[in-house]
Amino acid sequence: MAEKPLIVVTNDDGISSKGIKALIKVAAEFGDLLIIAPDKPQSGMGHAITVNNIIRLDESGLYPDYQAYSCTGTPVDCIKMARHFLKERKPDLVVSGINHGANTSISVLYSGTMSAAVEGAIEGIPSVGFSLDSFEAKADFEGSKVVVRQVIQKMLSSKLPEGLCLNVNIPDIPAEKLKGIKVCRAAKAYWKDELNERKDQHGRKYYWLAGEFENRDLGEDTDLYALKKHYASVVPIHFDMTAYHLISEINNWDF
Amino acid sequence: MAEKPLIVVTNDDGISSKGIKALIKVAAEFGDLLIIAPDKPQSGMGHAITVNNIIRLDESGLYPDYQAYSCTGTPVDCIKMARHFLKERKPDLVVSGINHGANTSISVLYSGTMSAAVEGAIEGIPSVGFSLDSFEAKADFEGSKVVVRQVIQKMLSSKLPEGLCLNVNIPDIPAEKLKGIKVCRAAKAYWKDELNERKDQHGRKYYWLAGEFENRDLGEDTDLYALKKHYASVVPIHFDMTAYHLISEINNWDF
């Protein structure tokens, strides 16, 4: 009998978040799970790894039906931990999320959820990050499950080219209103930062990073456009950031 | 009289590190400086930003000739801070480093030094990260200055396409032995992780992230090859991680 697929589950909102609970429910339909997720929120951690400190890993009682560990490290650390524990067995899939809030466009760079998927891709494992386009505290992840199920099913049956991962964003609408799933490119959108300046009780200044996401991209083939039109977006992501098309131009600088 | 170029200086090893001191010396030959760098080592922070905590910024007395601030945030936060303080004036250049240790190949993703440069590129500012290929405590950054000077000079006189930054790695050899500067692609190399498992004084396990960098790429056009041959490497980096060439293939999955 064929072995069941082995699926590593992580996220960046922390092991007890609603999004990972929804993801675990769907992933368990497809295989055995190894859950290693941060013990606290790690949003905005990007591709950070823990180099100047130790990492702890503790068995989590939250998911008694599965092997589950909470980790003091970053989402990327969680993937490295999973590889360490699985040793010779390579997982069949890494799933990360479901993130509380969209990770469209350049948010891939800042997102711990997506960075965990990128790390999976670096390790040669088919990987995917899921995000729900809602920052509401009461966000409902039920509708997302339809998309998660369909993407996991496709990823296990199709062969994702090595080194690639998928960035899946899901509109915050009931499942029956979802128009479908669209393969897209990342929109050219930006965070228009505003640093919120305040003073503490001693009169000393401090700052909160704030800002708005601004889309400057009118393309109809982008992730932001798909979400707006009530589609889930799938963007293929690769980890080699070399701008190949500009190597020859920079060569003309004649160092 | 033309205004002098405005150059933002940051790094990830911290504002008091040897590498940033060398970088400041060279950058000051070309323009006015705004130094905003982390108050502590931030290696391996990747593109992390501080979203769940406040950020502090303090004037630094380390560089009395320049506007200099130490920041409690990540290298990417430092760039966001710089943009906040400069408001309408856009810097002419962001320089990050000189990093203590190479940032070749996929290390761009993990490196705070390079992520600060990538953030500069996102902001539309010509940006560059410099790294010295030495982890030695006594690493000598003197020889690197020749490369830093040449790259900054070219960046201020040539027009780097918007959204691009440069990843410059410098071999750890005396300046007179340096063969030149080569424009390269990132080598396909990987961190072969090993988690170092230990026990604390209470018998409880903890881990250190460790491992070796393994080059699986025999190409002679890579950054790792250039360093080996005593060249400094320049890799153009862009921040859009969309795998455009695979959009049509994933489309065939027929979601």
For A167-206, write each residue's pLDDT tens digit: 999 999 999 999 999 999 999 998 888 899 999 999 999 9
Cβ atoms of B19 and B83 within 8 Å: the answer is no
Give the single-character DSSP code of A5: P
Whether A155 is in a domain gets the answer yes
Give the single-character DSSP code of B47: T
Query: Residue A197, Cβ neighbours under 10 Å: how many?
Result: 11
The predicted pLDDT at position A150 comes to 97
pLDDT tens digit sequence for A28-50: 999 999 999 999 999 999 999 99
State the nearest Cα–Cα gap between A85 and chain B, in angstroms. Answer: 9
Average model confidence (pLDDT) across chain B:
95
Across the interface, which of B49, B166, B239 has its CB nearest the CB of A44?
B49
Give the single-character DSSP code of B222: B
Q: Say what the alpha-carbon torsion angle B39, B44, B48, B52 is, to the nearest 10 degrees.
A: -60
Whether A197 is in a domain gets the answer no
Q: Say what the alpha-carbon torsion angle B109, B110, B113, B118 is, to the nearest 10 degrees.
A: 20
Across the interface, which of B49, B188, B206 has its CB nearest the CB of A55?
B206
CB contact under 8 A, B241 and A238: yes
Closest residue on chain A to B163 (Cα): A243
* Residues 6 or more apart in contact with residue B200 via CB below 8 angstroms: B206
Q: For an interface test with A, give the residue of B39, B51, B169, B181 to mutate (most A CBs within 10 A).
A: B51
Q: For the residues B35-49, what does the mean pLDDT come to?
A: 96
Average model confidence (pLDDT) across chain A:
95
Q: Name the region of A250 (left: φ>0; alpha: ψ -120 to 50; beta: rest).
A: alpha
CB contact under 8 A, B241 and A118: yes
Q: How far apart are CA B93 and CA B128, in angstroms?
A: 8
The predicted pLDDT at position B108 comes to 97
Q: B25: exposed, middle or buried (C-beta count within 10 Å: 0-12, 13-18, 19+)?
A: middle
The predicted pLDDT at position A191 comes to 87
Residue B159 pLDDT more than 90? no
Whether A161 is in a domain gets the answer yes
Cβ atoms of B69 and B20 within 8 Å: the answer is no
The predicted pLDDT at position A164 comes to 93
State the nearest Cα–Cα gap between A219 and chain B, in angstroms. Answer: 14
Q: How far apart are CA A66 and CA A35, in angstroms?
A: 7
Reduce the DSSP state of residue A76 to 3 states and report it.
Answer: helix
Across the interface, which of A47, A108, A185 has its CB nearest the CB of B110?
A47
Q: Whole domain around residue B30: which residue ranges?
A: 6-186+220-251
Under the banding of pLDDT at 50, 70 and 90, the label for residue A88 is confident
Across the interface, which of B48, B84, B251 has its CB nearest the CB of A44?
B48
State the nearest Cα–Cα gap between B235 and chain A, in angstroms. Answer: 7
Tokens of B20: 């940033």
Closest residue on chain B to A160 (Cα): B250
Q: How many CB pairs under 8 A join A and B?
A: 214
Q: For an interface test with A, give the residue of B225, B242, B244, B254 to mutate (most A CBs within 10 A).
A: B242
* Cα angle value B13/B16/B19 (rounded, 5°): 55
Give the single-character DSSP code of A133: S
Residue B14 pLDDT more than 60? yes
Report chain A residues whose CB lies below 8 A from the CB of B58: none
Q: What is the domain-level CATH number for residue B172?
A: 3.40.1210.10
CB contact under 8 A, A239 and B184: no
Reduce the DSSP state of residue B103 to 3 states and report it.
Answer: coil
CB contact under 8 A, A185 and B48: no
Whether B104 is in a domain gets the answer yes
State the nearest Cα–Cα gap between B68 and chain A, in angstroms. Answer: 16
Single-letter amino acid code for the residue at A202: H
State the nearest Cα–Cα gap between A198 and chain B, in angstroms. Answer: 10
Report chain B residues whose CB lies below 8 A from the CB of A249: 161, 236
Q: For the residues A69-97, what does the mean pLDDT come to?
A: 95
Query: Residue A192, Cβ neighbours under 10 Å: how many?
Result: 10
CB contact under 8 A, B186 and A48: no
Residue B68 pLDDT more than 90? yes
Indicate the range of A54-63, B5-14, B17-26, B211-220 predicted with least confidence: B211-220
The predicted pLDDT at position B155 comes to 96
Residue B2 pLDDT more than 80? no
Q: How far apart are CA B11 and CA A246, in angstroms?
A: 25
Report chain A residues whose CB lies below 8 A from the CB of B161: 246, 249
Whether A211 is in a domain gets the answer no
Q: B155: exposed, middle or buried (C-beta count within 10 Å: 0-12, 13-18, 19+)?
A: buried
Q: Pinpoint the alpha helices (H) of chain B.
A: 18-27, 75-86, 107-110, 112-122, 144-157, 223-228, 247-251
Query: Do strands A32-38 and A67-71 pair parallel, antiparallel, or not at all (unpaired)?
Result: parallel
Closest CA to A126 of A30, A39, A51: A30
State the nearest Cα–Cα gap between A250 and chain B, in angstroms. Answer: 7
Residue B195 pLDDT more than 80? yes
ipTM above 0.85 for this complex? yes
Closest CA to A86 of A155, A5, A16, A167: A5
Residue B78 pLDDT more than 80? yes
Cβ atoms of B62 and B39 within 8 Å: the answer is no
Q: How far apart are CA B94 and CA B113, in angstroms?
A: 11
Give the single-character DSSP code of B174: -
Across the interface, which of A57, A108, A205 has its CB nearest the CB of B241?
A108
The pTM for the full model equals 0.96
Under the banding of pLDDT at 50, 70 and 90, the label for residue B172 is very high
State the nearest Cα–Cα gap between B163 and chain A, in angstroms. Answer: 10
pLDDT tens digit sequence for B95-138: 999 999 999 999 999 999 999 999 999 999 999 999 999 989 88
Q: For an interface test with A, give the residue of B13, B86, B183 to mutate (most A CBs within 10 A).
A: B183
Single-letter amino acid code for the residue at B135: F
CB contact under 8 A, A255 and B57: no
Whether A121 is in a domain gets the answer yes
Reduce the DSSP state of residue B135 to 3 states and report it.
Answer: coil
Number of domains in chain B: 1
CB contact under 8 A, A207 and B246: no
* Residues 6 or more apart in contact with residue A104 via CB below 8 angstroms: A131, A133, A167, A169, A186, A187, A189, A223, A224, A227, A233
Under the banding of pLDDT at 50, 70 and 90, the label for residue B1 is low
Whether A205 is in a domain gets the answer no
Under the banding of pLDDT at 50, 70 and 90, the label for residue A1 is low
Distance of CA A4 to the CA centre of its chain: 24
Residue B200 pLDDT more than 70? yes
Across the interface, which of B44, B52, B158 has its CB nearest the CB of A51?
B44
Cβ atoms of A168 and A127 within 8 Å: the answer is no
Whether B214 is in a domain gets the answer no
Give the single-character DSSP code of B245: G
